[in-house]
Amino acid sequence: MSKQRPPKLKMFIVLRWDLPAEAAVVAAAHASLGTYLTFKDSNPLMEEWQKTSFIKRVCKSISWNHFQHLKTLGKHRVFTESGLDNAEVSIGFDIVQPPYHIFDEIPLLTPYK
């Protein structure tokens, strides 16, 4: 009988629905690093994530109201972009196991063309 492995830890990042491709890439990178730095000292799962999986799921909100609603959920940090007049562009969520169920309903970011 094989041992069942625990699910891999994942960091969830949600971007605004209306970001141009160039801004989305920068927003996701900043959110990944910023979320890690924000929660690494207070959440042992963050350090485990960094050492074992490093999986990031980048999702896209579907509207302004949706983005605002997501800011009311779980431990997170909101990121702004100086190149966009300090507009809020992304939300990085602290790692929890199991992940928040809301992420099952948010579309993953698809590649830009």
Residue 5 located in a structural domain: no
Q: What's the average model confidence in pLDDT over 46-65?
A: 93
**Does residue 113 surpass a pLDDT of 70?**
no
Q: Across the chain, what does the average pLDDT equal?
A: 90
**CATH number of the domain that 28 lies in?**
3.40.1490
Global pTM reads 0.88
* Domain count for the chain: 1
How would you class 113 by CB atoms within 10 Å of its CB: exposed for 0-12, middle for 13-18, buried for 19 or more?
A: exposed
Is 80 within a domain? yes
Is residue 65 domain-resident?
Answer: yes
- Which of 82, 64, 83, 86 is CA-nearest to residue 14? 64
* Residue numbers of the domain that contains 93: 10-104
- In tens, the pLDDT along 3-51 reads 766 678 999 999 999 999 889 999 999 999 999 999 999 999 999 999 9
Q: Give a yes or no: residue 111 inside a domain.
A: no
Residue 87 falls within a domain, yes or no? yes
